[in-house]
Structure 1
Amino acid sequence: MQASSAMLQKQLYAIFTTPAGAIEPVLANMEEHLAFQVSLEREGVLYAAGPMWSDDEKTWEGEGLVVVRAGSRGEAIAIAERDPMHRSGARRFTVRPWMINEGTLSIRLDMSSQTFAIL
């Protein structure tokens, strides 16, 4: 890690979530799951989340990625366990520590129209 010591070194946690079986239980828990995600966002815990498309970029088979701010991998696991998808057994998850070193985030804010875009 010495080579990246001058970089950001922001520690986050990636929660990889996959269907435990058929897609129907995933779809049945979607509304409650999304409400949970929004609550994490409001608390400042959620960094980013969304579906993982198939390799051909045409279908969704129930997989997702959730990146959270947490003090440890154990805390990130506790967050994942609270997700209605995981509580119901519709999805399984794994948690991996993820350190952000490089990248950029650009936001355009147009004041005249009071609109913004993530570039």
Structure 2
Amino acid sequence: MAYTIDVKDLEAKCAPFLRARWYVVVSRPTDKAEALLNTVTPEHLAHQIQTEQNGHMVAAGPLLSEDGQRFDGTGMFVLNCGSIEEARDICDRDPMHISGARTYTVRPWMVNEGGLTLRITFSDQKMQIV
């Protein structure tokens, strides 16, 4: 039996935490992927960069096999936007999805714990996530 809890109850239990609503997208190749990959990838990457520059892309990249040695074409990205509809709109404009090379699923994610540390050095104008 699956465990479920109403989101309002979950939010109440997590009140001290961040409770940010981000959107996790898993993008999987279709049977058309191999034929389209070389032509669509540059446009897809440009779309990803534009999404990042618009402030919606939190993180993105390929999902590797458990041993880290293979890639089956599945990718994941996390979007910070106002609604699941906005997340779907971003995905629907991705050339990989438009071309039919990939299909996607999107789910809301309540981000509670974690953190990032940035190291910025002024002399060489470099930034590092540590």
TM above 0.5, yes or no, is yes
Take 2:29 and 2:59, find their aligned partners in 1: how far apart are those partners?
Answer: 19
After the TM superposition, which residues 104-119 of structure 1 pair with which residues of structure 2 at under 5 Å, given as runs?
104-119=115-130
Is the alpha carbon distance of 1:62 and 1:39 closer, same or farther for their aligned partners in structure 2, counting shifts above 3 Å?
same
Q: Deviations over 1:23-67 (max 9, x none)?
A: 422343111000001111111111111111112201212111111
What one-letter code is carried by the residue in structure 1 that aligns with 2:16?
A: A
Aligned to 1:4: 14
Say how many residue pairs are matched: 119
Take 1:22 and 1:78, find their aligned partners in 2: how far apart are those partners?
Answer: 22
What one-letter code is carried by the residue in structure 2 that aligns with 1:34?
A: L
Q: Output the TM-score relative to the length of structure 1.
A: 0.92
Poorly superposed stretches of 4+, deviation over 3 Å: none
- 3-state SS, counterpart of residue 13 of structure 1: strand
Residue 88 of structure 2 contacts residue 106 of structure 2 at CA under 8 Å; is this kept in 1? Answer: yes
5+ residue gaps, structure 1: none
Aligned to 1:82: 93
After the TM superposition, which residues 10-89 of structure 1 pair with which residues of structure 2 at under 5 Å, given as runs?
10-21=20-31, 23-24=33-34, 25-89=36-100
What one-letter code is carried by the residue in structure 1 that aligns with 2:77?
A: V
Take 2:37 and 2:112, find their aligned partners in 1: how far apart are those partners?
Answer: 33
Please identify, of 29-38 and 105-114, the stretch whose mean Cα deviation from structure 2 is larger: 105-114
Q: Which has the larger radius of gyration?
A: 2
Q: Output the TM-score relative to the length of structure 2.
A: 0.85
- 3-state SS, counterpart of residue 105 of structure 2: strand
- 3-state SS, counterpart of residue 7 of structure 1: coil
